[in-house]
Amino acid sequence: MPTPLWGSNGVAFGPDGRLYAAQFLAGQISAVDPATGDVEVVVPMDGPVQSPDDLAFGPDGSMYITDLVPGRVWRRSPQGTYTLVSEQVKVPNGITCVGERLFVNEMKMDGRLMELFPDGRDPVVLTGGLALGNAMQLGPDGCLYYPHMMTNQVWRIAVDGGVPEVVAEEVHEPVAVRFDRGGTLLVLSRGVAGIVTRIDLHGTGSRSVVTSGVVGLDNAAFDAENRMFVSSFASGGVTEMYPDGRTREIVPGGFDGPYGVTIDLGGTVYAADHYRLASPEDSGEGESEGGGESQQGGVTTHGLLHFCHGIAADNGLLHLTSQYGTVQTHDPERGTTRVRATGLDQPLGIAVRTDGTLIIAEAGAGRVLAIDGTDTVTVLAEGLEHPVDVALDAEQRCYVSDERLGAVLRIDDGRTVPVAEELGAPQGLVVLGAELFTVETAHRRLRAVSLTTGETRIDAEDLAVGPPPGVTRRTEPALFTQGMPGAPRLFAGLAAAPDGSLLLSANGEGTVVRLSRPPAADDAPREDTARNLRAVPPHRTPNTTNSRRSP
């Protein structure tokens, strides 16, 4: 089932007692009732805020939001009016209110920690030199505490500035600094194990570490009873975490995308889920790196492989493309990763020839590439508009979907030959026997194309791909900002299973759907038989209100 929270990042309790969660990937903010788990969208994805990463509340009930990708900080009044506070912060992430004062830091190398002024005055820089800042909070001593994500340190500085001071070193992958109601410092880890480090600042400086199993912790908030609620950038949802590391699910987690999807010879389904390599919970017997599975919301996390989008299984290995512009080969059994190519421009879909050569759709450059066993890169075709996915037939001929051209093309000796045209933003692509299938994301449907006659038909409709019906983002999210990866391009992947069914990754809806062909009296394709394949998005969980998709 899709999670009611499509990713969850910064969390903070609002004046109404609900827990507000910033959803960077969705571009929205939702309020969660911690007693019931009910979810309500408060800041919609088609509003002025593009990529909310963290939030804080002022004493008058105003919500302050860091909008990471465009580099903006917003104020949302209690009446719901948006005001731009600043455009002078680069990659704004951590944010906190100290009375009526507002502080923000930057998630970049040599980042700054700044005080902002909603009345329009210029920001005041307290300090620079942050090695990727993130969630921060005022400590009981009146100083601001914040992490250096890249150096595994926690620092502090007085709210009026001065010389920053290292508080703790060798902290495991710090992503958020929080204080409980008793003044104990807690540092959340962004790793697979869900580690939280408690540091005693009052006496000996001793530490204790608990492991929650929540993959990719992002942030935390404490209610009036000192109960700790955590968010996860990797699996979404909201979880109550007890002092001993035990957890209780408040809002179920799930997939962040997923984007590319594949299935190996053992039957394990793997999804490229932007921040991680993951599988539906009941798919195969795969284990996560480190020797065990990590599961939330019906999804098994095998490891954090950041910004992965395309994926293809091949003889025990997994080949992946990344928004970093890389192509990698991952060995899930050994937990090792080999870089095959770097510096590519938006590599997305990936396929594997029988000789092991990788075929890549390089969307940003308008090319289709081949990478051989020695990691030599060859251009197979260029001059395309925006190639998204690639597929191979039994004769190893290559097909490519171009979403801007609205076509599927075959590559013949460097030339592109149209196979199907006038399609609605085709993305995921697969060849099954004498038929080619593609996902038309603009029309939310699956189209089949005969490779012998050229005839086409619609095999499934109402697919949960593309933006929700009726929603248009004000701007397309940037892939990178200030050298940091931004929001992902949506990519609806498609794969063929050994039994002839198709696997579809709903790009941002949170599901992997299997499409099975119904029994037919004969093998002749018929429109009425094909339409029996109609796929409907799964229902949201019962405790969800005002959710992203309608059942």
User: CB within 8 A of 522, min separation 6: which ones?
Assistant: none
User: CB within 8 A of 453, min separation 6: which ones?
Assistant: none
Which residue reads 């599961």 in tokens?
295
Cα 551 to Cα 538: distance, rounded to the nearest angstrom: 6
Span 441-478, pLDDT tens digits: 999 999 999 999 999 999 999 998 876 666 655 545 55
| CATH class of the domain defined by 11-251 | mainly beta
**pLDDT at 542 (0 to 100):** 32
> What confidence tier does 229 reach under pLDDT thresholds 50, 70, 90?
very high
Span 382-420, pLDDT tens digits: 999 999 999 999 999 999 999 999 999 999 999 999 999
Interior CA angle at 13 toward 12 and 19, to 5°? 85
- The CATH number assigned to the domain with range 261-516+527-533 reads 2.120.10.30
DSSP state at residue 544: B
Output the pTM of the full model.
0.88
CA distances from 478 to 68, 70, 84, 293 (A): 10, 8, 19, 33
Residue, of 519 and 9, whose pLDDT is higher: 9
Tell me: pLDDT of 522 over 70: no
Mean pLDDT of the 260-277 span: 93
Cα 321 to Cα 308: distance, rounded to the nearest angstrom: 6
Q: 299 by DSSP, 3-state: which?
A: strand
Decide: 177 and 187 in contact? Cβ < 8 Å. yes
**pLDDT at 486 (0 to 100):** 61
Domain coordinates in residue numbering, the chain:
11-251, 261-516+527-533
Cα 132 to Cα 111: distance, rounded to the nearest angstrom: 6
Which residue reads 């051209």 in tokens?
405
> How many residues are there in the chain?
551
Q: Which helix (H) or strand (E) holds 527?
A: helix 527-530
Tell me: pLDDT of 166 over 60: yes
Tell me what percent of the residues of the chain surpass a pLDDT of 70.
87
Our separate counts of H helices and E strands in the chain read 1, 50
Tell me which amino acid residue 277 is: L
User: Chain-wide mean pLDDT for the chain?
Assistant: 88
> What confidence tier does 530 reach under pLDDT thresholds 50, 70, 90?
very low
Q: What is the 3 state secondary structure string of 325-386?
A: CCEEEEECCCCEEEEEECCCCCEEEEEECCCCCEEEEEHHHCEEEEECCCCCEEEEECCCCC
Instruction: Say if 11-251 and 261-516+527-533 have the same CATH topology.
Output: yes
Q: Which helix (H) or strand (E) holds 528?
A: helix 527-530
Count the neighbouring beta carbons within 10 Å of the beta carbon of residue 79.
Answer: 7
Span 253-264, pLDDT tens digits: 999 889 999 999
Tell me: pLDDT of 527 over 70: no
Q: Which of 6-10, 167-171, 201-205, 304-308 has the lowest mean pLDDT?
A: 201-205
Does residue 542 have a cis bond before it (omega within 30 degrees)? no
Beta bridge partners of 221: 229
Span 49-100, pLDDT tens digits: 999 999 999 999 999 999 998 899 999 999 999 999 999 999 999 999 999 9
Span 282-321, pLDDT tens digits: 665 444 443 345 667 788 999 888 889 999 999 999 999 9
Cα 153 to Cα 77: distance, rounded to the nearest angstrom: 35
